[in-house]
Amino acid sequence: MDEIVRYTYRLRPGVQATRTLEAEWHRCRFLWNEAVHQQRSGSRPTFVRLSKMLTEIRSRTPWLREGSQVAQQQTLRTYAAALDRSFKVKGTRRPKVKSRKTSLPSMEYTTRGFTVRDGRLRLPNKVSIPVVWSRKLPSPPTSVRVFKDSLGHWYASFVTRRPLSPAASATGSIGIDWGVATTATTTNPAFDLAYPGHRHRCAAELARAQRKMARRRGPRGQAASRGYIVARREAARLHKKAARQNTHAARVWARAVVANHHTIAVEDFKPRFLARSTMAKKAADAAIGAAKRELIERGTRAARRVVLVPPAFTTMTCASCSARAKQRLALGERIFRCEHCGHTADRDRNAARVILATVELDRVSGDDVRHCSPPPLGACGAVRAGNPATSVLGRAKTSPSTECER
């Protein structure tokens, strides 16, 4: 059996190729915005309708005809999928206009639109870009997304198949509670993920870069100065570095957890909860989102039983006698004390135990992650496609479990 995965490589486009790619992006962006305007004027554009619009617009607009039809079609397909999702999934916003200034290029090509030859990625309009082949592609790719990040680096993300390698079996089980002081507190202290503080460490540097940006910002309507662009790049570089460090730490941790446990009970944490509070900065730093995503992805890929547990009452319930306290623990209160049996434990450790118990005893509705509707075209959707069957938990109250990505 194969699994569908994404392999991402750095691209090194020359001046000419960069210019062509950017022009291509503006054409795709124009179509995306056209679709947004259609939606806002009352109609709900489906992909079929948008395709007709594309054919029609291309026939009378030479500027659009210069671009790749594949990239343009894929843009509209992505738009239609995003719109569809915004209707189906609660809490998802409608796709927004992509502005010339702030949006970053991202184009998708299917096999009709690209080839890989002599180590180079060849795209329409005679674009040929050297690829940094940091590892080998396991099989010929079926599509590629070419994109630029905030630092101006270009990447190609290939969708490809690779044989499924069965993970070594494991027997243990673990419960995971997300937090601010410690990113992940688990039932086994050896598997805790400490608060990394990468963003905190570079906060001063980042503030300096942002002050510089503010100082160098010109009047409205004027093109950004050279100095401003340099300062903006510096800030973006710091952000990126912290984000990469967070992702790396999350990966190392998730790999260890998945390798040693079969049942993984995860608190279904909604980052928006903390983002609204005063701890927003630290919460973002803790990179809970990154850790959760990595864990779910690796766990499901290794055919582990990954279960998302709703966080309600986990901090109020005793792990020892499962009595529920009458009052919610204040966020500053670090120790849990049971009024019923006198059990005391670290607040987060207790919550992790409750989360695991919830799954092991099938007490309340834990939503198996496999019930999440797959995201339309994203990387995680591709990765999850080949999951082998995992056990399905009884779902008494099926809450919308489509939130697993956020």
Q: State the residues that interact with Zn ion by CB under 5 A.
A: 318, 320-321, 323, 338, 340-341, 343
Task: Pick the closer one to Zn ion by CB: 25 or 336.
Answer: 336
User: Among candidates 240, 249, 237, 243, which has minimal Cα distance to 196?
Assistant: 249
Task: Pick the closer one to Zn ion by CB: 75 or 320.
Answer: 320
How far apart, in Å, are the Cα atoms of 225 and each of 32, 209, 215, 229?
29, 15, 11, 6
149-152 LR contacts (CB < 8 Å, sep 24+): 149/104, 149/240, 150/104, 150/236, 150/239, 150/240, 151/233, 151/236, 151/237, 151/240, 152/233
- Smallest gap, in angstroms, from Cβ of residue 327 to Zn ion? 15
- Smallest gap, in angstroms, from Cβ of residue 324 to Zn ion? 9
How far apart, in Å, are the Cα atoms of 126 and each of 10, 67, 129, 315?
19, 11, 10, 59
User: Among candidates 383, 20, 146, which has minimal Cα distance to 404?
Assistant: 383
How far is Cα 142 from Cα 229, in angstroms, rounded to an integer?
A: 37
- Smallest gap, in angstroms, from Cβ of residue 345 to Zn ion? 10
Name the E strands within 244-377.
261-267, 305-309, 335-337, 344-346, 367-368
Is residue 162 within 8 A of residue 149, CB to CB? The reply is no
- Smallest gap, in angstroms, from Cβ of residue 295 to Zn ion? 28
- Smallest gap, in angstroms, from Cβ of residue 155 to Zn ion? 52
Place of tokens 């691209």: 11
Task: Pick the closer one to Zn ion by CB: 263 or 317.
Answer: 317
Query: What length does the chain have?
Result: 406
- Smallest gap, in angstroms, from Cβ of residue 319 to Zn ion? 8
Is residue 383 within 8 A of residue 301, CB to CB? The reply is yes
- Smallest gap, in angstroms, from Cβ of residue 339 to Zn ion? 8
User: Among candidates 81, 82, 97, 91, which has minimal Cα distance to 38?
Assistant: 97
Task: Pick the closer one to Zn ion by CB: 123 or 351.
Answer: 351
Task: Pick the closer one to Zn ion by CB: 149 or 339.
Answer: 339
Task: Pick the closer one to Zn ion by CB: 344 or 391.
Answer: 344
How far apart, in Å, are the Cα atoms of 279 and each of 124, 207, 282, 390?
47, 18, 5, 36
Task: Pick the closer one to Zn ion by CB: 22 or 333.
Answer: 333
Q: Which two tokens stand for residue 379?
A: 């990387």
Task: Pick the closer one to Zn ion by CB: 181 or 321.
Answer: 321
- Smallest gap, in angstroms, from Cβ of residue 86 to Zn ion? 44
